[in-house]
Structure formats: C-alpha cells, structure tokens
C-alpha cells in the first residue's frame, strides 16, 4: 500500500487539476457509485495518479469531501466576521448556509450519510456552524438586539431549516422557489428574535397556554374523580 501524501505537500499542477475535477464530479452527482477505474477514465488520468493523491479509494473520497467542507467552513467564518452588526451577521450567515449548499446534488448528501468518513467530516462542519450561530445570537441578546431566546435552540433550528430548503422535493411541496422560501424563513427568525413589544405574549400567560395544548404523559391534570359508588343494600335476614 502506498503511503499517504504528507499534509501541506504542494501538488503538481496536473494533480491539482485532477483533484479539482474530482471534486466537481463528487459534488455534482455523488460518489458511492464510482470506482477508481471509472474515475481514472473520466479524469483522463491513470489509477496511479489517483493513488498518488491518496492510498485508497476511501481516503481519496474523504480527501475530496474534507476539501469541499473546509472551503464551506472558511466561507461561513468570513461571512460572520465581515458583518457590520449582529442582525446582519445572522441574516448573512443564514443566506450563506443556503447558498453554499445549493451546488451540491442531493445524491452527494445522501452518499455522505452512507459513508462514515464523510459523515464524520459533515458533523464536524455542522458543529462549527451551530457554534458560530450560537455566538451570533448570544452576542445579539447580550447587546439587546435580540429577544432572550435559547441561542442553542435557534442555531439548531436554523441549521435544520436550511437543510430542508435545499431539498428540491421539499420546495415542490411548499410551492415556493428557494429565494422566496429563504425570505419566509428569514422573516420567521426575525419575528422571533427581534423585539416586538406590542405583539409579545406575556410570560405569565405561557404556562396556561401550554397547559391547554399539551397533555402530560401521566394524564391530564385536575381530572375529576369518578363518583363514589353507592353502598350496597343488604337484605334483612
């Protein structure tokens, strides 16, 4: 087995071109259906060239996924840093999550789910994305720009919503193009995070409202007791 290339080693122009083309194929159509021989034919290179990039096909695919996700992470970090204020940081970051995900074919994401090395890399990116969103929301709350809502919850919900918006089947169900669906999501997040004193629900009323809609697993509260059974009449002997 060939040794892996040392980290940071400069690729030749030819190998760099092969790697860029390989990324394009993987992102645009998935990768689990590919094998080294077919990749070499499509890339017009030898299998030896591919093994120069990574010693096995699994590590080659992991290399490609890692490069794609690292670029995504760097772009998202730059968007968060360059925003002029907390609200712009949140809005721009949400847009960047959707935009960076759009070029990926649904098959690419499905294949990652079935490819453990790729899933580990994706979870790492998701953790960083959620952490960055949390920081943005927490900073906005501390600055008085956002309502005091759990930053962790907001971050997780935004990430889940973004994942749904890039699904073509979901957009067809909504009957909305991506741009309009994203605009609706932004309005929803804005309405929840931005202070709206005139429309806010008083905190003291929340337990009563929740109690009307939710039923405890132990059964509804204040359940009336069944009427007492009347005493049995005994016949005189």
- What is the reported pTM? 0.70
Domain at 61-195, CATH homologous superfamily? Tetracycline Repressor, domain 2 (1.10.357.10)
Work out the angle at residue 166's Cα, subtended by the Cα atoms of residues 160 and 172, and round it to the nearest 5 degrees: 110
Quick: pLDDT tens for 125-157: 989 999 999 999 999 999 988 999 999 999 999
Q: What is the pLDDT along the chain (237 residues), one digit of tens a residue?
A: 444 454 446 889 999 999 999 999 999 999 999 999 999 999 999 999 999 999 999 999 999 999 999 999 999 999 999 999 988 898 888 888 878 877 777 788 889 989 999 999 999 998 999 999 999 999 999 998 899 999 999 999 988 888 887 777 888 898 888 778 877 888 888 777 877 544 443 444 333 433 444 333 334 444 445 455 555 555 544
Domain ranges of the chain: 61-195
Closest CA to 110 of 171, 46, 29, 48: 29
Tokens 């190998």 sit on residue: 15
Compute the distance between CA of residue 121 and CA of residue 125 in angstroms, rounded to an integer: 6
Q: Which of 69, 71, 89 is nearest to 80 (CA)?
A: 89
Spatial contact of 53 and 60, defined as CB atoms under 8 Å apart: yes
């Amino acid at each position: 087995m060939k040794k892996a290339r040392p980290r940071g080693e400069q690729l030749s122009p030819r190998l760099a071109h092969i790697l860029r083309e390989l990324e394009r194929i993987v992102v645009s159509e998935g990768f689990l259906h590919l094998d080294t021989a077919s990749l070499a034919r499509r890339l017009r290179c030898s299998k030896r060239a591919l093994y120069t990039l990574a010693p096995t096909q699994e590590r080659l695919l992991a290399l490609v996924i890692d490069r794609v996700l690292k670029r995504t992470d760097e772009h998202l970090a730059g968007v968060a840093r360059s925003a002029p204020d907390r609200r712009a940081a949140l809005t721009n970051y949400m847009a960047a999550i959707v935009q960076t995900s759009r070029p990926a074919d649904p098959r690419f994401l499905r294949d990652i789910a079935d490819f453990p090395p790729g899933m580990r890399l994706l979870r790492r990116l998701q953790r960083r994305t959620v952490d960055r969103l949390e920081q943005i929301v927490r900073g906005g709350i501390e600055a008085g720009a956002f309502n005091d809502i759990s930053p962790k919850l907001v971050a997780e919900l935004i990430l889940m919503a973004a994942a749904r918006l890039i699904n073509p089947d979901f957009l067809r169900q909504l009957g909305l193009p991506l741009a309009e669906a994203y605009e609706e999501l932004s309005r929803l997040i804005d309405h929840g995070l931005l202070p709206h004193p005139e429309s806010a629900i008083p905190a003291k009323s929340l337990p009563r409202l929740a109690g009307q809609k939710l039923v405890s697993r132990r059964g509804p509260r204040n359940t009336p007791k069944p009427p007492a059974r009347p005493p049995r009449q005994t016949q005189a002997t």
